[in-house]
Structure 1
């Protein structure tokens, strides 16, 4: 199964709340995002078996700010997927923004451990996205809710990572201010595909800022100028994002299907 096919399949399994009839052993990945929590189960070949997600606000700028809330959500997602599969999941991988250190880095592992999953691996988020996309040579930009991280790979080796505090949360803040609505209402507006064409002119400065942030991360790294660029994360869902981000970045970028699910799928592959 090709990378994009796996992403499409994972989306279908989550939307239909079904399970793929694939034999184990299985790997589990948990993505604790700023706006959502996603749990993914795959087989040994990386093919999606099951998954579930819940919108949440337990993480801020890449840091777990509601430990108990995060643990309860992961526990619920785990139980939901276990009931569908008829098995018990006991181990899992998780991820953090590049450069997260100390207790902040340990927090994600503690969350899934508290939910009943023994942590087996913790990987940088854009590295996980690269794994899901099967990228061995290129630049992966992972735009989360609070942070934007990049990973540069050359011949399968990670050669550069960076992370900055900007992301989808800033899009919601701009929408809330522009339309005089609450942050929660802005989040819902951002997720409404029918509104994307209308809101893009309003949030364009934020998209341009994101592109500028990534450009600045790569200053002095001219050797990567000809590398293909892939952008993942929920913000990349926005209609017109790929075009506008590419214009501001000064290079063509690629947004895979269902970009919100790319990193969770990659996390599971490290399980």
Structure 2
């Protein structure tokens, strides 16, 4: 058991700082900038940290260039990341050179090369490629437990012991499935359902409708943590922005479950924290 469960205070403060600089970039005099690129199924997020690994700028854009953790619109992904890079460089009055990226756990051989190529084609020097849950834990700092990254297409699970990854998995079921359920329940097209889901004012109404899908996510978690001494669970990823999702997961798993402030930004910030000045070989 963890000697001390994770505290979300530091994580939430870090995310709060990032939210602020997305709207108000900081033109600091930094000797280097570290960038994290998160190519999500529903949203592309770019986070920029200064030499002290403090947030100075960021951007995000909802897009349909990745599905189920796989890049399906290669040119579209490059164009989005390149445009975000250029916009952030203009705001910071500097060149962004180094970037890291992440992929769903256990998919390195399937799509790692495509993600790396997108980041490089957008004009960055690629310095690191890691799995999404491990990236998120750079912010969460969990020692013993599971980080569950519920993205648009898949749910990634990383189990940590003494702060080290001992098991990873990635399973279909994510935000896309949430939107499909909403689409069927309300007679909306997929795009309308997806936008309806993002509005926090609709979450209380949507939670009972989405409860079976959340329970499916929880069952996936239960399946993969079986046999491991998991004492706590942290939920990250844009899909986890759904109000109340953590309560359902905790009830289904019987394990204390945390959700940080704006879980959509935890992974990209963790990616940026893992950026270096040494080119990835």
What is the TM-score of this pair, normalised by structure 1? 0.94
Number of residue pairs matched by the alignment: 267
Residue matched to 1:4:
12
- Deviation, 1:157, is 1.6
Residue matched to 2:32:
25
- Deviation, 1:189, is 0.4
Alpha-carbon distance in structure 1 between the residues aligned to 2:21 and 2:137: 21
Correspondences of 1:92-241 after superposition (within 5 Å): 92-102=99-109, 104-221=111-228, 223-224=229-230, 227-241=231-245
Deviations 1:223-251 (CA, angstroms, capped at 9, x unpaired): 33xx2211011111111111112112222
Alpha-carbon distance in structure 2 between the residues aligned to 1:258 and 1:103: 29
Residue matched to 2:56:
49
Deviations 1:70-90 (CA, angstroms, capped at 9, x unpaired): 000000110111011000112
CA contact (8 A) 1:20 1:48 kept: no
CA contact (8 A) 1:13 1:20 kept: no
Q: Does the C-alpha gap of structure 1 residues 20 and 165 become closer, same or farther in structure 2, counting only changes over 3 Å?
A: farther
Alpha-carbon distance in structure 1 between the residues aligned to 2:256 and 2:27: 35
Unmatched tracts of structure 1, length 5 or more: none
Alpha-carbon distance in structure 2 between the residues aligned to 1:87 and 1:20: 9
Segment drifting more, 23-32 vs 71-80: 23-32
1:242 matched to 2:246? The reply is yes
What is the TM-score of this pair, normalised by structure 2? 0.91
CA RMSD of aligned residues (A): 1.5
CA contact (8 A) 1:29 1:267 kept: yes
Deviations 1:177-229 (CA, angstroms, capped at 9, x unpaired): 110111000111001111111111111100010000111011232x33xx221
Q: Which runs of 4+ in 1 moved over 3 A?
A: none
Q: Does the C-alpha gap of structure 1 residues 196 and 204 become closer, same or farther in structure 2, counting only changes over 3 Å?
A: same
Alpha-carbon distance in structure 1 between the residues aligned to 2:144 and 2:248: 24
Alpha-carbon distance in structure 1 between the residues aligned to 2:204 and 2:156: 26
Unmatched tracts of structure 2, length 5 or more: 1-8, 276-281
DSSP-derived class of the 2:197 partner: helix
CA contact (8 A) 1:62 1:146 kept: yes
CA contact (8 A) 2:183 2:193 kept: yes
